[in-house]
C-alpha cells in the first residue's frame, strides 16, 4: 500500500530553531548553551557551540536530523509531475497490479443447466508486477567553517539548512523528473500508447488538434480494449484523465476550449493539465550518468528524440504511471580528521507503467506498420518440445508494435501469446506460425515449424 504525506515548510526563525534544538538536547548541551532571547544572542551562542566539538556535533545533527528530514519529507511530492506518483510503499519492494477482465455472457437454457451447474468458469485475471528499479544516493559536505558562518546573521541557521537540503533535494528531484520523462518517451517510442493522427501543430490548426483530443477523451470514458497495452476492457472517467502538453503547443491553444473538452471550467482543468518542455528533450548526459550501471537503460536515438519533439500532447489515465517511493532517508557521518560532516540522501523508487490503464499519443503523421519479421523463420522440434519465436515490427509515427500469434495446424503445434511454439505429443508434420500486427492486420509474417 502506498501513502502520501502532507507538506511542511521551514518558517521558524533562527531564535526559534536554536531554542527548539536546546529543548530536546542533552543535559550537557543545555548546561553550556543558554536559551536565545533575541537575535542579538545568536553570535554569542554560536561562539560557545564552535568552541566545543561535542556541542558542534550535537547541534548540527539536531539541526539536520530534526529539521532537514522534515523538509525532505515534505518535498518528496513537489516535482512538476507529482500528481502521477502513488506515494510511499509501506511494505515490500514489489507492487502487484491485478485486473479482472469482463465476465463472459452465456445463453439461458434450462435444458443444459443440470449438466453445467457445477462446471467451473475460471475468471480472466491479469497481473502486472512493478518492481523497485531505482536506488540512488546524493552526498554533500558541511565543513566547520561553513557551520561557523551560520551564526553571523539572523537568517544564517535557516540558510545553512536550506543550502544543505537544496543541494540534495534538487538533484534528486531533477533526476526523478528526467526519469519520468525518459520512461514516457520509451513507451511512446516502443509503440505502447495508442496513436491518434493530428495535423502538424501550428497556430492556425490548434483548434482541430483540440477537437481530436476531445474526441479521444470522450472515447476513454467508454468501455474499450483499444487504448491500453494489455488489450483489456476498461475506461477512464474525465476526472482520471490528464493531458500532458508540449509547452509550445500549449502557448498556441485556447485553454478554455481545451478545458471544455474535459467538461471542466478553466480553474478545475488546471489540475489536469501537465506541461512538458518537449517529449524528446531529455538530459541525455545526466541520464547516462544516472543509469550507467543499469542494464535496462538504453539511450534513445537522436532521430527518435526529434520525432518525439513533434508530439503536441499525450492523454493518460492517472493510473498509467506506477511510480512510488520505496524509501528515502538522510544519514550523516563525521570525519574528525578532516573536520567536516558528510550527509547522504538515499532514494529508492519504482518507475513503471500500468499495462491496464488507458493512454494515447497525438502524432503529426499517419501511424503505420511497415513490416513484420519472425526469427527464426524456420525450426524443427520433436514431440512435446518448444521453440520461442520473436517478432520484430517496424513502424512509422509510433504505431503499436504488438502482434497476435496463430498456428495453421493446432493439432500439430500450438503457439501462445508470447510466440512460444509447442509441438503436440504424437503429432508430426509441417505447420505455419503467423505473427500478425494488431494495429494493421494486413501486415504479417510466417515461420515454418517442422514437427517430428
All structural domains of the chain, each given as residue ranges with its CATH number in brackets, are 178-322+353-363 (no CATH), 368-451 (2.60.40.1080)
| Interatomic CA distance for residues 406 and 21, integer angstroms | 70
pTM tops 0.95: no
Phi, psi of 374 (to 5 degrees): -120, 140
Mean pLDDT of 330-358: 88
Query: Cell 502487484, residue?
Result: 96
- Return the C-alpha torsion angle 184, 190, 192, 195, nearest 10: 90
Least confident piece of the model among 218-232, 251-265, 292-306: 251-265
- Whether the pLDDT of residue 229 is over 50: the answer is yes
Mean pLDDT of 365-386: 92
Cell of 427: 503429432
Strand partners, 274: 244
Sequence-distant (≥ 6) Cβ neighbours of residue 219 within 8 angstroms: 226, 227
Confidence of residue 204 (pLDDT cuts 50, 70, 90): confident
| Interatomic CA distance for residues 376 and 160, integer angstroms | 62
Element (H, E) at 185: helix 156-189
Quick: pLDDT tens for 376-405. Answer: 999 999 887 899 999 999 999 999 999 999
Phi, psi of 189 (to 5 degrees): -60, -30
Quick: pLDDT tens for 300-331. Answer: 999 999 999 999 999 999 999 999 999 888 88
Amino acid at each position: 500500500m502506498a501513502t502520501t504525506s502532507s507538506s511542511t515548510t521551514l518558517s521558524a526563525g533562527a531564535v526559534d530553531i536554536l531554542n527548539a534544538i536546546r529543548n530536546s538536547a542533552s543535559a550537557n548541551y543545555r548546561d553550556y548553551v543558554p536559551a536565545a532571547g533575541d537575535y542579538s544572542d545568536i553570535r554569542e551562542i554560536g561562539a560557545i557551540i564552535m568552541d566545543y566539538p561535542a556541542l558542534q556535533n550535537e547541534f548540527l545533527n539536531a539541526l539536520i536530523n530534526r529539521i532537514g528530514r522534515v523538509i525532505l519529507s515534505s518535498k518528496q511530492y513537489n516535482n512538476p509531475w507529482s500528481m502521477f506518483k502513488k506515494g510511499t510503499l509501506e511494505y515490500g519492494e514489489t507492487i502487484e497490479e491485478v485486473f479482472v477482465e469482463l465476465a463472459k455472457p452465456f445463453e439461458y437454457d434450462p435444458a443444459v443447466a443440470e449438466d453445467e451447474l457445477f462446471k467451473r468458469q475460471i475468471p480472466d485475471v491479469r497481473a502486472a508486477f512493478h518492481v523497485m528499479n531505482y536506488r540512488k544516493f546524493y552526498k554533500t559536505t558541511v565543513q566547520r567553517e561553513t557551520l561557523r558562518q551560520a551564526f553571523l546573521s539572523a537568517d544564517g541557521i535557516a540558510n545553512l539548512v536550506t543550502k544543505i537540503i537544496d543541494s540534495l533535494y534538487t538533484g534528486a528531484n531533477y533526476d526523478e523528473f528526467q526519469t519520468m520523462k525518459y520512461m514516457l518517451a520509451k513507451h511512446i517510442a516502443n509503440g505502447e500508447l495508442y496513436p491518434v493522427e493530428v495535423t502538424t501543430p501550428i497556430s492556425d490548426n490548434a483548434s482541430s488538434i483540440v477537437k481530436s483530443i476531445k474526441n479521444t477523451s470522450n472515447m476513454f470514458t467508454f468501455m474499450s480494449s483499444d487504448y491500453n497495452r494489455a488489450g483489456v476492457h476498461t475506461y477512464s472517467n474525465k476526472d482520471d484523465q490528464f493531458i500532458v502538453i508540449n509547452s509550445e503547443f500549449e502557448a498556441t491553444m485556447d485553454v478554455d476550449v481545451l478545458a471544455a473538452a474535459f467538461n471542466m471550467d478553466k480553474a478545475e482543468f488546471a489540475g489536469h493539465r501537465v506541461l512538458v518542455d518537449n517529449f524528446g528533450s531529455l538530459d541525455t548526459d545526466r541520464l547516462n550518468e544516472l543509469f550507467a550501471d543499469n542494464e535496462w537503460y538504453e539511450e534513445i536515438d537522436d532521430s527518435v528524440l526529434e520525432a518525439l519533439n513533434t508530439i503536441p500532447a499525450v492523454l493518460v489515465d492517472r493510473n498509467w504511471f506506477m511510480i512510488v517511493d520505496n524509501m528515502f532517508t538522510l544519514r550523516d557521518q563525521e570525519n574528525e580528521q578532516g573536520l567536516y560532516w558528510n550527509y547522504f540522501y538515499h532514494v529508492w523508487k519504482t518507475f513503471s507503467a500500468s499495462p491496464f490503464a488507458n493512454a494515447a499519443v497525438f502524432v503529426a503523421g499517419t501511424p503505420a506498420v511497415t513490416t513484420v519479421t519472425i526469427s527464426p523463420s524456420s525450426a524443427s522440434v520433436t514431440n512435446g518440445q518448444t521453440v520461442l519465436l520473436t517478432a520484430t515490427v517496424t513502424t512509422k509515427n509510433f504505431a503499436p508494435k504488438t502482434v497476435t500469434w496463430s498456428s495453421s495446424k493446432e493439432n500439430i503445434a500450438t503457439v501462445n501469446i508470447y510466440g512460444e511454439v509447442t509441438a503436440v505429443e504424437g503429432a508430426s508434420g509441417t505447420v505455419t506460425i503467423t505473427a500478425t500486427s494488431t494495429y494493421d492486420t494486413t501486415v504479417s509474417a510466417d515461420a515454418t515449424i517442422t514437427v517430428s
